[in-house]
Amino acid sequence: MTLENYIRDIQGFPKEGILFKDITPLLNDANATKECVKILVNGLEGKQIDKVIGVESRGFLFGMLLAQELNAGFIPVRKPNKLPYETISASYDLEYGSDTLEIHVDAIQKGDRILIHDDVLATGGTAKAVCELVERLGGEIVQLNFLMELTFLNGREKIKEYPIFSAIKY
Ligand code: AMP
């Protein structure tokens, strides 16, 4: 099975100049979704995981499936003011302005082995902010995995101190 066949390119979404990688055809197919989970789990090479982080919002989809498959807990990292309990936050720069992500203060116990998941690694700003949150709470980052990596944006460079796995590279 070729996972690429289940990713749809949408030119100019959500704004001009962006080639959006739409994963809804993948989600729409049970076998392709299962295969994708299998590929991401294989990419871990048997490393033990206590908690999987999914990054709002598309990171929640496979993040939760991965957590179940790995027998690990799931942690949502969300945009500001979405999480109800006490949070810490990390900000990162965008092309114009900045953005912020939050995590519950009690989501990670010191020494927890963490897998960070998101759908796309683009410039790496999002992933780097999530790494900062995990380390501030005392978690150990075992790997970051992505359905897709846009290699021409060099996002890897921002998170090069951590192991990275991506199911598809463009
Ligand atoms: P970045 O912080 O630049 O690595 O961007 C990563 C975040 O933006 C991820 O949460 C992705 O869901 C989203 N993203 C960035 N570029 C794309 C793209 N071309 N298609 C779909 N999602 C994207």
Among protein residues, the one whose CA lies closest to atom 18 of ligand 1: 20
- Which pLDDT value is given to residue 94? 85
Q: Could you say which DSSP state residue 99 is in?
A: E
Band (30; pLDDT cuts 50, 70, 90): very high
- Distance from Cα 128 to the centre of ligand 1, integer Å: 13
Confidence of residue 97 (pLDDT cuts 50, 70, 90): confident
Interval 123-143 mean pLDDT = 98
Question: Is the minimum distance from the CB of 117 to ligand 1 under 6 angstroms?
Answer: no
CA distance 166 to 168: 6
Residue-level pLDDT at 12: 96
Query: Which residues are annotated as catalytic?
Result: 58, 95
Given the CA of residue 119, which atom of ligand 1 is nearest to it? 12
With a 6 Å cutoff on the Cβ, whether 149 touches ligand 1 is: no
pLDDT at 96 > cutoff 80: no
Is any atom of ligand 1 closer than 6 Å to the C-beta of 20?
yes
pLDDT exceeds cutoff 90 at 79: yes
Mean pLDDT along residues 20-38 = 98
Answer whether 58 contacts ligand 1 (Cβ < 6 A). yes
Say yes or no: CB of residue 3 within 6 Å of ligand 1: no
Look at residue 88 and tell me whether its pLDDT is greater than 90. Answer: yes
Site to probe by mutation for ligand 1, drawn from 23, 126, 131, 166 as the one with most ligand atoms within 8 Å of Cβ, is 126
Q: How far is the CA of 121 from the centre of ligand 1 (A)?
A: 6
According to the model, what pLDDT value does residue 41 have? 98
| DSSP string across 117-162 | EEEEESSSHHHHHHHHHHHHTT-EEEEEEEEEE-GGG-HHHHTTTS
111 SS3 class: coil
Q: How many CA atoms lie within 13 A of 155 on its CB side?
A: 25
Report pLDDT for 95.
Answer: 74
H or E element, residue 87? strand 87-93
**Over pLDDT 70: what percentage of the chain?**
100
Segment 70-99 mean pLDDT:
95
77: Cβ below 6 Å to ligand 1?
no
Q: Is the pLDDT of residue 57 over 80?
A: yes
pLDDT of 109-119, one tens digit each?
Answer: 999 999 999 99
